[in-house]
Amino acid sequence: MHKADAARIAALLRPAKRILISAHRDPDGDSLGCQLAFYEYWTTQKKCPADIVNHGSIPLKYRFLDPKSLIKSPSQIKRRPKWDAVIVFECSSLARVGSAQSLIPEGVPIINIDHHRQNSQFGTINVIDQTAAACGKMVYDMLKFWKARITPSIAQQLAAAIVTDTGRFHYHSTTPRTLELTAELMRLGADITALSDQVYYSYSLNHLRLLQHVLSGAQVSSGGKVCLLTLHNADRKRFGVPMRDLEGLVDYTLYIRGVKVGALLKELGPRKTKVSLRSTDSSNVAEVACLYGGGGHLNASGCTIDLPLNEAAAVLRKAIARARNSSKRSR
């Protein structure tokens, strides 16, 4: 984020007495870290009230980020406060905030801070940086421009945003600056070991048994370059793992030597399949996701396909093959 952008945001927020903070539905580590870091700054250093409202529950592995249960669902807002401004993190379109959108008062200014390529510029102020490894990096820049005090807890939230949205520094979005910023956050109090223990090493036994089941059905195609994992809703329920706790399962597709593109397909209903996509090379999985109304980043994206799971897998496999051929021709 540039200094001028931070100044524009500060000017818009200056008269606000209470703000609404939100992000995309089914929040991940980046969106949660951004919201909680900004909330702490706004309420403790600016000493102004704020509310965090998200559509969807927090995955078990991220609940340690919100020990005070600051994040509410729209259904928990019984009496709507008077919000003077709204700040939305890591959301490519306003529709992606889900049911939280219905809470946004008409005419209230919206600040849109994001790093997705396909952002609809829905805000009164739009600050979009496609080069940022995580939205957490943009929040860090903004707070530094404002001369905010980066407390150990803010540092931990921003570190969670960066570590998780770079795939533990695995994605191509990771730059020397990403690592330098993470080191700075550690100096300011972020505990990367504790963070990693909570996010990556705290699965339940049922989760591991579900993982075993899903991996046993791995489908590898395109000469070993593409891997698909599928999960039927009945199997998920049999193992007792909530849908919200399946984030990260798609990453196992890339653990196979030679695989460049991976996808996890989760059955949501008889004719609805949720897809998570990952890649390790120049294959642009965001282009694949966009075909079905989704989006995201070059190496990490998602979408929903209105087809039964097995049919969705068939059309997705073809779409991935076309995307890989397209990326080869453009090189």
Which CATH number is 297's domain given? Answer: 3.10.310.30
CB atoms near residue 223 (< 10 Å): 7
Residues 135 and 36 in one domain: yes
pLDDT score at 237: 94
Residue 40, CB-side half-sphere exposure with 13 Å CA sphere? 23
Query: How far apart are alpha carbons 221 and 206 in whole angstroms?
Result: 29
Q: Of 190 and 295, which is predicted with more confidence?
A: 190
Kindly report the three-state secondary structure assignment for every residue of 187-231: HCCCCHHHHHHHHHCCCCHHHHHHHHHHHHCCEEECCCCEEEEEE
- Say if residues 134 and 166 touch (Cβ distance below 8 Å): yes
172 and 286 share one domain? no
Is residue 329 predicted with pLDDT exceeding 90?
no
Mean pLDDT of the chain: 92
Q: Is the pLDDT of residue 331 over 60?
A: no
Domain boundary among 200, 219, 243: 200
33: CATH:
3.90.1640.10
Percent of the chain past pLDDT 90, that is, above it, reads: 78
**What residue numbers bound the domain in which 323 lies?**
205-330
Q: Are residues 290 and 277 part of one domain?
A: yes
Phi, then psi, of 12 in degrees rounded to 5: -70, -40
Are 194 and 259 in the same domain?
A: no
pLDDT, residue 328, reads 61
Residues 277 and 180 in one domain: no
End residue of a domain, out of 200, 228, 245: 200
- Among candidate residues 173, 200, 227, the one where a domain is terminated: 200
Residues 75 and 158 in one domain: yes
In contact, 83 and 17? CB cutoff 8 Å: no
Verify that 76 and 119 share a domain, yes or no. Answer: yes
Residues 248 and 296 in one domain: yes
Give pLDDT, residue 66: 95
Q: What is the pLDDT of residues 98-146, one digit of tens each?
A: 999 999 989 999 999 999 877 889 999 999 999 999 999 999 999 999 9
Q: How many domains does the chain have?
A: 2
Position 25 scores a pLDDT of 87
